[in-house]
Every structure is written in C-alpha cells, then in structure tokens.
Amino acid sequence: MSAHLEYLSQGLIDNGQLREELQVCVRGVVEHWYSQKVNVQKVEMMAEYLARLGRYLEAESLNRDALSKEVQKIYNHQDVILLVESALPETAGKLEINALAVHLMDIVEYLSLKTYVPVLPEMLARSERSAKAARSVGLAQHLRG
C-alpha cells in the first residue's frame, strides 16, 4: 500500500460512523492525486455511482474485486482504484460503500479547490472581457437601429 494510503489499513468506519481523522488524511491523497493529474470530474462520477449503489443495494454485500471492476469502467486510474480497493473490506455492504462514496467526495472537494482556484482569476477576467464585448456588440446593433 502506498504511504499516502496507509490510513486505510484501519478502514473508513469506526463504531458505525466515518472515522473523524479522515479529513486530515484527505490532504495527503489530494497532493498525490494532483501530482498524478487525476481527473476530478471522473472521481466525482465514481463517488456518485457508489452513493447510488449504496442507496439501492439490495444484496447483503458485494465482493470488493467485483466492485473494483465496476468502478474501473468509470475511471481506470491506478491511484484511484488502489484507494477503492484499499478502503473496502473483502465484502462490502451498504455502510462501507456509502462511507467510500463520502470519502471520495471529500477528496473531490479538496482536489477541485486545488485544481480550479489558481485559474479562477484568469477565467473571471476572460468572462468579463467576453461580457464587455457582448455588451459592445449589443450597443452597436442598437445604435444601427
């Protein structure tokens, strides 16, 4: 198991709830995934899939390997799959799948901030220039009658 995933050896759940210290561990995962250029949108889709699966799961539990193959269809990035496989027990029920979905969403939030905050000023400036250009065109069309 990679050093940034060692915290998963204790699982995601403690006394029927997410472990409180997981938020601290998220930052290490985000730093690693950012350096590996993990696609944040695909991880978010994976988390949403797991959340829906956990909500509607009728079987008692799912095999970790089968679940891993399912999520690989969404995003087959080695680091993401390693986290999924490390976080789940051999057989995972609703609680474990929902916990993994929430944990992935926590990672998605931090990864989104790390990815998009640095480029927001440029995006806003571009948007402002586009809006100004659109207003100028609208004014010119209005003046032409």
Q: What is the pLDDT of residues 14-65, one digit of tens each?
A: 888 888 888 888 999 999 999 999 999 999 999 999 999 998 887 778 999 9
Q: What are the structural domain ranges in the chain?
A: 3-119
What's the CA gap between 116 and 108, in Å, rounded?
12
- Which pLDDT value is given to residue 132? 66
- Which pLDDT value is given to residue 134? 64
Q: What is the pLDDT of residues 64-94, one digit of tens each?
A: 999 999 999 999 999 999 999 999 999 999 9
DSSP codes of every residue in 39-107: -HHHHHHHHHHHHHHHHH--SS-EEHHHHHHHHHTT---HHHHHHHHHHS-SEE-HHHHHHHHHHHHHH
Phi/psi at 127 (nearest 5 deg)?
A: -65, -40
- Which pLDDT value is given to residue 122? 76
CB 76 within 8 A of CB 100: no
Which structure tokens are listed for 58?
């009728």
What's the CA gap between 20 and 7, in Å, rounded?
12
pLDDT at 1 over 60: no
